[in-house]
Structure 1
């Protein structure tokens, strides 16, 4: 099967017009027609019905089935081109969320440097949701991922490093800090909260708690930056939620409070790669070193 025929067919399904498809690919209309006929002969079915009376191009059920499969074929081909083009490169396309980078990555920096891997890392810093997409698209080959639940996806190979709980974080100037005791999340309905902008784990867990407890507190600020998020809480602009390790016991400006009624979601840290991806020796070495990260 000619993959170009599939490209023509996929675009015909989207545009429903032979002339427009021919113009897009800068070929003659008979070229598109012949491509569709070849596919119909290969699959022994009618893929396209042309209603000349009403000047409509209809896609049959089998045509729709092939269209859906062609999307997966095209994605796999694009992925193959990316992986093969980078096959001889010593660079490691590594995804790292800011919070995991600041909390746990320093544990292995020395070992990475000792094994000459630091200069090979091409780090893509972004939220875990974005990194999942980059992994799927082949823009990143390995990523440290934070998730609220353990990752169970057959398209990825996952090495779980550990799990940490979330805590409510307040300024030491806040009245809740004076009590310094575990609190019921549903009692926070009248509090002002700092929220995370964008697709970040901490923003998702915060809104999951809102939904679980049925409260709708005021959001006074949103930020995509963890440092600014913590600064706003320190200044007592509002309260927030952070994974336990983000709050140092020696930080005199913060008080971290346990949640009496925690939901089943926690901060799970995993090393993730595509299940079909064949690791380079440097990448195998990187994963072996990352496995030594202690999430405790």
Structure 2
């Protein structure tokens, strides 16, 4: 874009808003935004982001394509609550499925790259551009092998396991945030960690008594009968919120609406 075009566009904007948006520095060489100019620039950036998100959604709609985010642990748990009726699973055949941790899926959803996602979070989801609904809640447990010395405990404080080796899911999952929050209460003294990307591998390592974990019981039983979950003491209990969310512009497609209705009938 040529300099005269930019200058003319700025002049038109200044006439429209009846204020100066750009001014020169004292050296008369460098242009910078005035305070009203900064306000307009910030809003313009938001508008451009919304336009980009709208274009993505329209393109997917033209192709009759849904992009759905599915965190593996949550999806596995929810699928147990579904029946085997074909109509309940039809959405998975007609959608592009994105399987990532909840933190990554939330970023994609906000960016407009997903039409819908299941999500795990440490607080109820609240976002200006998303419609969300809590489905149910789980609590975090200290997970140990049945052969671990702590396996017979009825409850435990995080303070008691600071010297243990933790087997954890990586930063793409909410579980790591839960661990960091608890650890921060005790001056980050728990430092021996093994970080993995796959939940099944995490649970297998714990089952072999190579360390302990901090997880919900979404996929523990009966798949892992040699693992024991120990509740945290009352003042340290950490809640895992399982929700769905989608952009709040317009109504969801019919297939997605049916899936949402089925999700909301899941046992709490």
Question: What TM-score do the two structures reach when normalised by structure 1?
Answer: 0.83
Which is worse superposed, 103-112 or 251-260? 103-112
Tell me whether 1:237 sits opposite 2:196 in the alignment: no
Q: Tell me, in whole angstroms, the C-alpha distance in 2 between the residues paired with 1:81 and 1:132.
A: 19
The offset of 1:47, in angstroms, is: 0.8
Which is worse superposed, 285-294 or 248-257? 248-257
The offset of 1:103, in angstroms, is: 1.9
Tell me whether 1:226 sits opposite 2:204 in the alignment: no
Q: Tell me, in whole angstroms, the C-alpha distance in 1 between the residues paired with 2:225 and 2:58.
A: 52
Instruction: Give the aligned partner of residue 74 of structure 1.
Output: 48
Deviations 1:80-110 (A, max 9, x none): 2112222233322111111112222343363
Question: What TM-score do the two structures reach when normalised by structure 2?
Answer: 0.91
Tell me whether 1:134 sits opposite 2:108 in the alignment: yes
1:248 aligned counterpart, secondary structure = coil
Q: For the structure 1 residues 263 and 205, does the alpha-carbon distance in structure 2 shift closer, same or farther, using more than 3 Å as the test?
A: same
The offset of 1:54, in angstroms, is: 4.5
**What is the aligned residue count?**
268
Q: Tell me, in whole angstroms, the C-alpha distance in 2 between the residues paired with 1:231 and 1:250.
A: 11
Which of 233, 239, 245 is matched with 1:266 structurally?
Answer: 239
Does the aligned pair in 1 maintain the 2:205–2:211 contact within 8 Å? yes
The offset of 1:257, in angstroms, is: 1.2
- Structure 2: 5+ residue stretches without partners: none
Q: Tell me, in whole angstroms, the C-alpha distance in 2 between the residues paired with 1:181 and 1:106.
A: 27
Tell me whether 1:256 sits opposite 2:222 in the alignment: no
Cα RMSD (Å): 2.1
Instruction: Give the aligned partner of residue 120 of structure 1.
Output: 94
Does the aligned pair in 1 maintain the 2:91–2:256 contact within 8 Å? no
Choose between structure 1 and 2: higher helix proportion: 1
2:258 aligned counterpart, secondary structure = helix
Does the aligned pair in 2 maintain the 1:112–1:289 contact within 8 Å? no
Instruction: Give the aligned partner of residue 189 of structure 1.
Output: 162
Matches within 5 A, 1:1-296: 27-51=1-25, 53-108=27-82, 110-111=84-85, 113=87, 116-177=90-151, 179-214=152-187, 216-249=189-222, 251-263=224-236, 265-295=238-268
- Structure 1: 5+ residue stretches without partners: 1-26
Q: Tell me, in whole angstroms, the C-alpha distance in 1 between the residues paired with 2:236 and 2:261.
A: 32
Q: Tell me, in whole angstroms, the C-alpha distance in 2 between the residues paired with 1:145 and 1:100.
A: 8
Q: Tell me, in whole angstroms, the C-alpha distance in 2 between the residues paired with 1:277 and 1:214.
A: 46
Does the aligned pair in 1 maintain the 2:140–2:237 contact within 8 Å? no
1:71 aligned counterpart, secondary structure = helix
Q: For the structure 1 residues 59 and 250, does the alpha-carbon distance in structure 2 shift closer, same or farther, using more than 3 Å as the test?
A: closer
The offset of 1:214, in angstroms, is: 4.2
Deviations 1:66-85 (A, max 9, x none): 01110111111112211222
Q: Tell me, in whole angstroms, the C-alpha distance in 1 between the residues paired with 2:173 and 2:18.
A: 48
Q: For the structure 1 residues 101 and 221, does the alpha-carbon distance in structure 2 shift closer, same or farther, using more than 3 Å as the test?
A: same
Q: Tell me, in whole angstroms, the C-alpha distance in 1 between the residues paired with 2:191 and 2:35.
A: 50
